Amino acid sequence: MKPACAISVLVPVRGDGAFLPQALHSLLVQTCTDWEALLCPLDDVAAARLDNIDVQDARIRRMVAVISEEAAALAAAFGQARGAALCALDGDDLMEPHALATLLAVLDSDPGIGMAYSRHALIDAGGAPLGPGPLCELPYSPEALLLDCMTGPLRLVRRDAYVRSGGFSLACPDAYDYDLCLRLSETTVIAHEPQALYRRRVHPCSPLVTRWAERIEDNYRAFLQAVRRRGLDGQFDCALEIDSWHVLQPLRPFGGVGNWR
């Protein structure tokens, strides 16, 4: 089947989708216009939000089914995607206007590259900068990826590379993105674009905050699976180390919407 467009953008939407208009605006102003977007409601509240949102752009479609597992929702969306490459834009986040064009140029520069990713910046609920995404500053290699997920939240993946890797999996639901990147690193070439092309929003209701412990466990599970696939379990011992500390400090604003707790 011939692709209908260059890029399919999968957009998971959770809760009241308070930041979704900003996310979609960052998509609509992309300098690359050859894309489609599939909005993926992750709960009934998000589905109701999408029922009432007025998006007058034929390139943006909504997935009818509500699928609570984000990996399953994105896998289902890929089944309806028509692009030659795909990426994910979280409904809380933002892309820089030249993000898609820049990553598409990386893929076009070498047919052997199956995935291109960029640096990203962290922002709070009000959009104020919190600093660079720290892991994206690390040099990439398939071996380094075992220990640190430096491949960031914005990744453009060729359709055939995605299929060859096995696609989104439910084996590590809170680290499906890391799990996918590990499998891609074993089956294709991954390229790093040094520009910061994505702004990831950190706020008290984001999964980065609410499910941080589950993400640590699933990251480790994805790591163990990769170690076994690569035949390294006969050479190395694996362990999960989590530093523990206690903090006592005055209540402080976080993200402009209340106190951290």
Instruction: Specify if 15 maps to a domain.
Output: yes
Instruction: Specify if 119 maps to a domain.
Output: yes
Task: Show the tokens assigned to 143.
Answer: 């071996």
Matching residue, tokens 């499998």: 183
Q: What is the pLDDT of residue 244?
A: 63
Domain count, the chain: 1
Is residue 45 classed as helix, strand or coil in its secondary structure?
helix
Separation between Cα atoms, residue 29 and residue 98, nearest integer Å: 9
| Residue-level pLDDT, tens digit, the chain, 261 residues | 689 999 999 999 999 999 999 999 999 999 999 999 999 999 999 999 998 888 889 999 999 999 999 999 999 999 999 999 999 999 999 999 999 999 999 999 999 999 999 999 999 999 999 999 989 889 999 999 999 999 999 999 999 999 999 999 999 999 999 999 999 999 999 999 999 999 999 999 899 889 999 999 999 999 999 999 999 999 999 988 877 666 666 665 554 444 433
The conformation of residue 174, written as its DSSP 8-state character, comes to G
Q: What is the pLDDT of residue 52?
A: 87
**Residues linked to residue 35 through DSSP beta bridges, in sequence order:** 7
Instruction: Specify if 198 maps to a domain.
Output: yes
Instruction: Specify if 243 maps to a domain.
Output: no
The Cβ of residue 195 has, within 10 Å, a number of other Cβ atoms equal to: 13
Instruction: Specify if 249 maps to a domain.
Output: no
Instruction: Specify if 63 maps to a domain.
Output: yes
Q: What is the pLDDT of residue 246?
A: 61
CATH of the domain at 86: 3.90.550.10
Q: What is the pLDDT of residue 261?
A: 38
Residue 120: give the domain boundaries.
Answer: 5-139+151-160+190-203
Instruction: Specify if 237 maps to a domain.
Output: no
Instruction: Specify if 125 maps to a domain.
Output: yes
Q: What is the pLDDT of residue 137?
A: 87
Helix residue ranges, H only, the chain: 20-28, 44-52, 70-80, 99-109, 142-145, 159-165, 176-187, 207-210, 212-229
Helix axes 70-80, 176-187, angle to 10 degrees: 50
